[in-house]
Chain A
Amino acid sequence: MEQKYEEEIQMLQQEIEMLEAEQEETLRSIFIEHGDRLQHELKSVFEERGGAQKPTLSKLITEVRELEKDLRRQTEINGIALNECFVKTLHKSERKLVQQLRLAGHCSVLLFQVEFAVTEIQDDDALLRRVTEVNIVVDGVEFKDFSAFVSRVEDTKDLLLFFRTLRTFSERCEERRQTFRHFQEKYPDVVSLPEGCRSDLMIIRSPQLPG
């Protein structure tokens, strides 16, 4: 008698796991294929505030608002804004999770696209996370000398280092930009920025002295 229940319980658990995975994938596919339409529908859900507050939805809406708030904080602390985030779960079991991620976003004015796979294995008392197959694309005038670093990071798979460096690099570029602009505004006759204030080139030419 006990055994019959135990078997049913195991079967139910497996079915539930499968259904949840199916639902997750369908939800993600809606976002990937019809992101715009989804945002449109979302707007009308949030705007529908008048009259009957639907109790079934309000708990979800609160949860979603909390997540949005947390996301804003993470974006601020990390200094990285993500515009695109596609996740594909390749394997999920009690102790192991394998996913592929494709992210696109920007750090101030610097654009990036990063693709990677991550494997997480739950040991008895620790979580082991391994990042593989890292692919990085960066875009922006400032990235002229960045390619050696990007290749190295792709080899060492050091995602954390890449984003840490991107942040610092972006801060320095911003400082440079402000410095150049400051000089140009203060000394418009002498200073010129032939490639704009985002480049690494500033020319100082005094009208009195030669050269």
Chain B
Amino acid sequence: TTPVHHQDVLTLNDHVWPKWQSIIMHSDGTHSLHFGVNCVLGHLMALERGGMGQQDQHDSQRLEMLKARAVTLRAKRGQIKHQTDVVKILKDKISKDLPLEDDAAAAGGFIELQKSVLTAWRMQLKDLQRAHHLIGGYELVECKEGKSVCVSFHTAFEGISRHNIPPSFPLESFTKQNLQKDLKAFLQTLRQNLNALAARRRQVCLLKELVGSVEVMESNQLCNILVLMCTAQGETPKAVLCTLEYGDLTQCLPTRVSIECEDKTLSESPQWKKNQSLLLESPAHTAVLTMRRMGSIA
């Protein structure tokens, strides 16, 4: 099927996709990764459109196009108005506990009411589908008549989510491990890792946003290492380097924290032992804010 571009979304198989990255898994065991497929296609289509149509034919063509569009929309409005009226009749009959089919009603009328009943059920099914997307964090769409499946993930940290999968994400190894045998396990593993990645990344963003006095010296795409430089308060302010290693990629907290300072007594002090625990047990930005509030760092 050729995808259709419409404003800011992409329609594929009658399913509307917002501009997310997606993974397409084929039943023959291969998979393809589509980054910004909609953006690329949209761009290509825009280029195509720009190239076509000479300027002289442009104006009369445009008028024709507008006229046709107006006619289409007028028809659509009529259709929807009629459907809305039928739905209201359905609601009226149901709330008055009347049968849908009565002797006086024309056969056409009854079928329309039945159509509304189905439409109401479809609405509920779509709502349930949406609910599952929101609580599961992913969307699964079958393409090519069941031969391949397209999955989109939604990650979240502290209630806010947006997503893209970085190239360094070990997608290949996950698919090798799980995909053939068990779709459910594959999705769960992927979901876990993506969520943890999003959480770690968000912590780095929040650190930069909320705490100006701490410098992020090193971080990477997978966010499995974070090196921070803090300024310890004291008679003479001293630079302290905190290295957070995230050994478990399904977690958003580090597995190891090391504190380095030129002044050995500082890094061995009970205060900084406590700071080390804080960094191990709470999200990076929360820990750093607490350390600042307690006067440990600037």
Contacts and interface: CB of A to CB of B under 8 A. Distances in A.
Contacts of A64: 118, 121-122, 125
Contact of A159 (B73, B81, B134, B140): B134
Contacts of A2: 62-63, 66
B127 A28 contact: yes
B159 A70 contact: no
Contact of A70 (B39, B129, B155): B129
Contacts of B195: 160
Interface residues of A, number: 74
B119 A27 contact: yes
Contacts of A163: 135-136
B273 interface: no
B246 interface: no
A14 to B, nearest CB: 10
Interface string B1-29: 00000011000000000111000000000
Contact of B118 (A33, A57, A76): A57
Prevailing SS type, chain B contact patch: helix
A147 interface: no
B213 interface: no
B187 interface: yes
Interface string B56-80: 0000001100110110011011001
Question: A-side binding surface: helix, strand, loop or mixed?
Answer: helix
A1 B69 CA distance: 14
Given A20-B80, A127-B19, A128-B161, A42 B117 contact: yes
Interface string A44-55: 010000000010
A151 interface: no
Given A2-B66, A77-B183, A125-B19, A38 B120 contact: yes
A42 B115 contact: no
A72 to B, nearest CB: 11
B73 A77 contact: no
B160 interface: yes
Contacts of B77: 12, 15-16, 19
A71 B80 contact: no
Interface stretch (A129-137, A138-146, A176-184, A189-197): A129-137
B136 A78 contact: yes
Nearest to A5: B66
Interface string A136-172: 0000000000000000000011111001100000000
Given A74-B129, A76-B184, A127-B162, 10 more contacts: A5-B66, A12-B77, A19-B80, A26-B88, A29-B91, A37-B97, A38-B94, A86-B127, A128-B160, A164-B191
Interface of A: 1-2, 5-6, 8-9, 12-13, 15-16, 19-20, 22-24, 26-31, 33-34, 37-38, 41-42, 45, 54, 56-57, 60-61, 63-64, 67-68, 70-71, 73-78, 80, 82, 85-87, 94-95, 101, 103, 114, 118, 122-132, 156-160, 163-164
Interface of B: 7-8, 18-20, 36, 39, 62-63, 66-67, 69-70, 73-74, 76-77, 80-81, 83-84, 87-88, 90-91, 94-95, 97, 100, 111, 114-132, 134-137, 140, 142, 154-164, 183-184, 187, 191-192, 195
17 contacts: A5-B63, A20-B80, A26-B91, A27-B87, A30-B90, A34-B91, A34-B94, A38-B117, A42-B121, A45-B117, A67-B122, A74-B129, A80-B132, A124-B19, A125-B36, A130-B159, A159-B156
